[in-house]
């Protein structure tokens, strides 16, 4: 089905063939894909990729709904809602306790609410002009490092450990999510300062550098800022941060960013009060 799945992706998301072909050739697994056929044709598809939710310091098995798409001529017939319902059943049967997703637009939040999803995930979007960013940057005592998926994923888990309900990948899927972002032209900037790593996954458009995810603390961030100024020079820097991140504390606009659904008897205890974070969700 891969050629047909690729064509549906291109049609629904208006993207060139290289994007779905990379996903289908490197990340896709048939056991993580649900297809609704009508008259022998693919009417709708969802991918539910293995992931984890952090609950009380433990990684609880979950899945991430990705690239959910319905052929335009088959829309408004309930096919996607049926696939989402079946993904919840199939996920629960394989041991998933939660289903997470990131709507591609604000209008879709209401659609997913009808399938049992709520919106516990939020981010804080901070805007920093280049002039201010230059005053933050550390101009010595740091160096760029080669990205190591296992090391960076450990850093991510450490940074998110206090945010119960946050979304986590295993090392393989962390590496693959980074690789998919690179296919889209994003840059992964990694540094070390005093032996401690930090990273930012960046996208530059219209002279604005958007850090899709930033994992650093107040000690390592100046080194990361210096690397960003060097590798991704821009007029404005935009950071999408966990709500309680120490970076630019008290600044920025709060935005909901992702949805979560408990499966079976799973609960979302503590999720709303602990500012859970979705972040790196292959958006």
Which CATH number fits the domain that encloses residue 156?
Answer: 3.40.630.30
Residues 220 and 103 reside in one and the same domain: no
Instruction: List strand residue ranges (DSSP E) for the chain, in order.
Output: 33-38, 41-55, 58-70, 98-101, 122-129, 142-144, 167-168, 187-193, 196-205, 208-215, 236-242, 253-256, 259-262
Angle between helical axes of 2-13 and 18-26 (0-180°, round to 10): 140
CB-CB contact of 280 with 212 (8 Å): yes
Q: What is the pLDDT of residue 90?
A: 95
In a shared domain, residues 102 and 26: yes
pLDDT, residue 192, reads: 93
Domain contains 260: no
Locate 250 and state its tokens: 């008290």
Q: Is 56 a member of any domain?
A: yes
Would you state the structure tokens that stand for residue 205, as one six-digit string? 């458009």
* 113 and 227 part of one domain: no
Both 107 and 175 in one domain: the answer is no
Is the residue at 145 inside a domain?
yes
Q: Which of 129, 151, 169, 189 is nearest to 279 (CA)?
A: 169
CA distance 113 to 226: 41
Read off the tokens for 62.
């979950």
So what's the pLDDT on residue 265? 63
Question: Residue 271 domain-assigned?
Answer: no
- Whether residues 54 and 110 fall in one domain: yes
In a domain? residue 196: yes
Q: How many domains does the chain have?
A: 2
Q: For position 283, what pLDDT does the model report? A: 66
261 within domain boundaries: no
Q: Which residues of the chain have pLDDT under 70?
A: 265-274, 281, 283
Same-domain status, 40 and 100: yes
| 9 and 83 housed in the same domain | yes
Same domain, 92 and 14: yes
Among 120, 152, 168, the domain-final residue is 120
Give domain status of residue 237, yes or no.
yes
**Whether residue 144 is found in the same domain as residue 172:** yes
Give the tens place of pLDDT for each residue, 248-270.
999 999 999 999 999 976 555 44
Q: CA-to-CA distance for 282 and 176, rounded, in angstroms? A: 9
pLDDT at 220: 95
The domain boundary residue, chosen from 105, 120, 135: 120
Which residue, 75, 92, 120, sits at the end of a domain? 120
DSSP-based helix, strand, coil % in the chain, nearest 5: 30, 35, 35
Q: Is residue 112 part of a domain?
A: yes
Contact present, 194 and 219 (Cβ < 8 Å) = yes
pLDDT (0 to 100) of residue 274: 61
Please tell me whether residues 133 and 245 are part of one structural domain. yes
Statement to judge: residues 113 and 140 lie in one domain: no
pTM: 0.91
For 59, the domain range is: 2-120
- The answer on 133 and 24 residing in a single domain is no
Q: What is the pLDDT of residues 10-35, one digit of tens each?
A: 999 999 999 999 999 999 899 999 99
Question: How far is 23 from 14, CA to CA, in rounded Å?
Answer: 15
The predicted pLDDT at position 271 comes to 44
What residues form DSSP beta bridges with 147? Answer: none
**DSSP-based three-state secondary structure for 248:** coil
């Amino acid at each position: 089905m891969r050629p047909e799945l690729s064509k549906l992706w291109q049609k629904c998301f208006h993207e060139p063939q290289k994007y779905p072909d990379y996903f289908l050739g490197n990340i896709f697994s048939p056991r993580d894909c649900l297809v609704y056929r009508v008259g022998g044709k693919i009417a709708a598809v969802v991918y539910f990729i293995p992931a984890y939710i952090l609950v009380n310091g433990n990684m609880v098995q979950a899945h991430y709904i990705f690239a959910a798409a319905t052929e335009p001529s088959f829309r408004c017939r309930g096919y996607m809602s049926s696939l989402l319902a079946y993904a919840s059943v199939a996920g629960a049967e394989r041991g998933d306790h939660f289903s997470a997703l990131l709507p591609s637009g604000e209008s879709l939040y209401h659609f997913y609410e009808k399938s049992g999803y709520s919106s516990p995930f939020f981010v804080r979007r901070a805007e920093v002009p280049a002039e201010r960013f230059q005053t933050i940057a550390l101009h010595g005592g740091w160096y760029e490092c080669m990205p190591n998926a296992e090391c960076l994923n450990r850093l991510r888990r450490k940074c998110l450990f206090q945010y119960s309900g946050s979304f986590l990948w295993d090392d393989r899927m962390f590496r693959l999510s980074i690789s998919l972002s690179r296919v889209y032209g994003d840059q992964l900037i990694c540094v070390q300062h005093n032996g401690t790593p930090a990273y930012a996954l960046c996208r530059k458009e219209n002279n604005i550098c958007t850090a899709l995810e930033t994992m650093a603390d107040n000690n390592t961030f100046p080194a990361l800022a210096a690397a960003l100024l060097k590798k991704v020079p821009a007029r404005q820097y935009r950071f999408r941060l966990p709500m309680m991140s120490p970076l630019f504390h008290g600044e920025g606009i709060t935005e909901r960013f992702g949805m979560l659904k408990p499966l079976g008897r799973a609960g979302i205890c503590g999720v709303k009060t602990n500012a859970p974070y979705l972040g790196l969700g292959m958006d």
